[in-house]
Structure 1
Amino acid sequence: MSANGWKGKLYWFVEVVTMLAVLQLMWIGLTLLGLVVLGISPATVGLFVVMRKRLQGQDSLRSLTSNYWATYKAEFINSNKIGIILIVIGYFLVLNLRIVLKINGTFGLLMITLMVMISILYAVMVMNIFQVFANYELPLLRYFSASLLLSISYPIQVIGSVMGLYVFYRGFLIIPGLLPFFGISVSILFLTWMSSQIFRLKGESDGSFQVEEVK
């Protein structure tokens, strides 16, 4: 359907809102389907994949939901490998942070500073790793190094992503009723849009990031 003027803009707005709500509900349903722990990683990867397709011009909701389900099934095991590793790393970070907080003196301050820096890198890696997974075929452990490499190489995009997520967070605090319908889908659409320019750069194939886009 095509229309000009305010009718066309209204139709586009309703279409986008509907898409975001449907994909959000699918994310919730697929996460629960995997009993949360085993469902959240493939559900998140699938959402990144369909958001990338949406930004590339695919606007059929039926096609997007079909791709979402297909990606969820295809990447269930591999994405969970990443998710489990992230959970283990996060667990040890929290455990070590609790231990470091009990250390007094200059050494304790240095250890706390080190742990905070590592925690920031971990948070950034979590924010980017599923985007890398959704775009590229890599050996398992390289997803972690690639997500960190992209974050360090493009700090402006990382800072912009964090600031944008904070704005969304404040907005959902003001209107919490929107969170169940748009919280995850809007955030992932924003992150996908922020990273789209990075993944299009030719520098990714110059030897430092030798992969082909296959997903």
Structure 2
Amino acid sequence: MGSTRLMSHVNTVCDWVIRLLYLNFLWFFFTIVGLVIAGIFPATVALFSVLQESFQKGENVRVFKRFWNVYKREFRKANVLGIIIVMISIIFYTDWLFTNQVMGTLGMIAKGILLGSCFVYGITLLYVIPVYLHVNGKLFTTMKLAFLIGITYPQYTFFMLLSIVSIMLVSFLLPMAGYLFFISGIGSVLMYFSIHVIKKVEERQKITKPGKSRLIIHN
């Protein structure tokens, strides 16, 4: 019995290693297919979608079919989301350049406010794509919910950041592992914690607003 259980765990681990390796390859391939700029966000959404299905359904996921279908379906909308993210990032960078020109106490206050805003924005980005998938690509709802979840559940955000730092450290110490698993590894961490957070949001909504439709809509 113990040997059978051990082999089951080993098979599960091996299945996930192969899946993450394959997803990492698909992400790079379809990012290049989209000429990088137009491919990176649809490929990222597709990767997260496969991970979402994998966590929910286990082994019964056709990786390539799911990845390709989501990539095609979300190509335009994912790029719109990407443009929003990039534009906000450019605004923050421009504001930072501006605050560098402001001297004295006012400059320090401005930099403090800007750094705080950037930190909150960074936390929001951790949840953006998982939330995007759960609300069927509604862009305004995605940004709003990602922000609210990020500041409401700091414990999950902390473990996300800790896991990302760990993956970056392993990738630095073992560059080959980073090449093979970096994107899919970070994606799996973000999706794993996001699924648990979103479940908590849904459970809280059921308690506070019984009988009403769920806030988060699954695909």
Counterpart residue number, 1:135:
134
After superposition, the C-alpha distances for 1:48-79 in whole angstroms (9 at most, x for unaligned) are 11111111133146x12211111111111111
Residues of 2 paired with 1:76 and 1:124: CA distance?
A: 24
Counterpart residue number, 1:181:
180
Q: Normalising by structure 2, report the TM-score.
A: 0.89
Contact 1:137 1:211 in 2 (8 A): no
Counterpart residue number, 1:35:
35
Q: CA deviation at 1:213?
A: 2.1
Counterpart residue number, 2:160:
161
Shift in CA distance, 39/7, structure 1 to aligned 2, threshold 3 Å: same
Shift in CA distance, 203/5, structure 1 to aligned 2, threshold 3 Å: closer
Residues of 1 paired with 2:205 and 2:21: CA distance?
A: 33
Q: What is the correspondence of 1:1-12 to structure 2 with a 5 Å cutoff? A: 4-12=4-12
Q: CA deviation at 1:204?
A: 4.4
Question: 2:217 corresponds to which letter in structure 1?
Answer: E
Greater relative contact order (CA < 8 Å, ≥ 6 in sequence): 1
Q: Verify: 1:214 aligned to 2:218, yes or no.
A: yes
3-state SS of the aligned residue for 2:139? Answer: coil
Q: CA deviation at 1:39?
A: 1.0
Question: Structure 1: any 5+ residue segments left out of the alignment?
Answer: none
After superposition, the C-alpha distances for 1:98-150 in whole angstroms (9 at most, x for unaligned) are 12122210000000001101111221122211110111136322211111011
3-state SS of the aligned residue for 2:57? Answer: coil
Counterpart residue number, 1:22:
22
Shift in CA distance, 131/209, structure 1 to aligned 2, threshold 3 Å: farther
Residues of 2 paired with 1:24 and 1:133: CA distance?
A: 20
Question: Structure 2: any 5+ residue segments left out of the alignment?
Answer: none
Question: 1:129 corresponds to which letter in structure 2?
Answer: V
Residues of 2 paired with 1:73 and 1:155: CA distance?
A: 34
Alignment: residue pair count = 212
Worse-superposed segment, 197-206 or 71-80: 197-206
Aligned-residue sequence identity (percent) comes to 21
Shift in CA distance, 18/69, structure 1 to aligned 2, threshold 3 Å: same
Residues of 2 paired with 1:138 and 1:211: CA distance?
A: 13
Q: Normalising by structure 1, report the TM-score.
A: 0.91
3-state SS of the aligned residue for 1:4? Answer: helix
Counterpart residue number, 1:49:
49
Q: Verify: 1:109 aligned to 2:108, yes or no.
A: yes
